[in-house]
Amino acid sequence: MSGQLAASFSKPIFIATWPFGKSACEKSKSVLGAGGSLLDAIERGINLTELDETVDSVGYGGLPNADGVVQLDASFMDGRGQKAGAVAALEGYPNPISVARRIMETTRHVMLAGSDAARFADQNGFQSRDMLTAEARKSWLDFKARRARGNAEDEKSHDTISLLGLAADGHLAGGCSTSGLAYKLPGRVGDSPLIGSGLYVDGSVGAAGATGIGENVLRYCGSFLIVEFMRQGMTPTEACEKAIRRIGAGEQKPLEQLSVNFVALRQDGLVGAAGTDVEFLCAVVDASQSVLIRPSLVR
């Protein structure tokens, strides 16, 4: 299926991480087609995933930290003017991507964190709710029991949604949202809200977004690196592959142990993706098709 990444896609184009990204991209296309802006399309596409409680790594339904508290991270970036907004360790608000966009559009800042991010959300009319679903609570209690027995292994849940969009007029934007690594230390922040790590958009070049183990992405500014490789003339997939190999060289460990995966979208409409996780899939939705693609596996 990776050959589909070399196929021609027609604007508008949306690309996102994981199978749940397909319905998010379809929502984005619908919003854009109904007259919404590209920023509206990105936000509402990601909102769909954030509110899906069956997705245990994003938004409402996301697995909590080690204390049983759901803390959400998100970033939003507009390729026009390099505008950006982000939230980190946000508690009590199911749509962090919307809060991140509000920060981008109404303040002079880029990121708010913790209780102050929640206060900003409240002051701007966002509705709070109990974020720990019954299923997430059960999973957390199971984790606590395993840890008490001394056999709690590292949890796999780190399936961030990164969604990138390119409108017919060439406008580029993107967003990234996650509940982060399951049962993380309270206050842990991964790559997703960090501009240049989990997400980067340059309207004159392209965009990139990440999913996987955030620490392995943020130490290398992975998404920014991919955009810079595209600036040098690489295809999106080539750029993703080279960034992964750069990370592998720095980590000095086998690539299959990294759990880093990227999607990318160039300003001319070429899409790409690559990852180290065998199960990684990305979704692409354009003017005429909606597909799931197995990207290049980097080894």
CA distances from 190 to 214, 278, 290 (A): 5, 22, 30
pLDDT at residue number 149: 86
What average pLDDT does this structure show over 122-145? Answer: 96
Which DSSP state fits 214?
A: H
pLDDT at residue number 1: 47
Beta-bridged to residue 90, according to DSSP, are 72
Asked if the model's pLDDT at residue 177 lies above 90, the reply is: yes
Distance CA 133, CA 130 (A): 8
Tell me the pLDDT tens digit for each residue of 193-213. Answer: 999 999 999 999 999 999 999
pLDDT bracket for residue 134 (50, 70, 90): very high
CA angle 288, 54, 274 (to 5 degrees): 50
Tokens 């190999």 locate to: 245
Distance CA 116, CA 259 (A): 31
Distance CA 85, CA 76 (A): 5
The per-residue pLDDT of the chain, averaged, comes to: 95
Total domain count for the chain? 1
Domain containing 19 equals 2-297
CATH number for 96 = 3.60.20.30
Residue 148 φ then ψ, to 5°: -65, -30
pLDDT at residue number 147: 86
Instruction: Determine contact, residues 276/216, Cβ cutoff 8 Å.
Output: no
Distance CA 26, CA 132 (A): 27
pLDDT bracket for residue 156 (50, 70, 90): low
pLDDT bracket for residue 6 (50, 70, 90): low
List, edge to edge, every strand of the sheet that includes 161-166: 111-113, 83-90, 72-78, 172-178, 161-166, 13-17, 282-285, 290-293
Tokens 């990684």 locate to: 280
| Residues taking part in catalysis | 160
pTM of the predicted model as reported, rounded to 2 decimal places: 0.96
pLDDT at residue number 4: 75
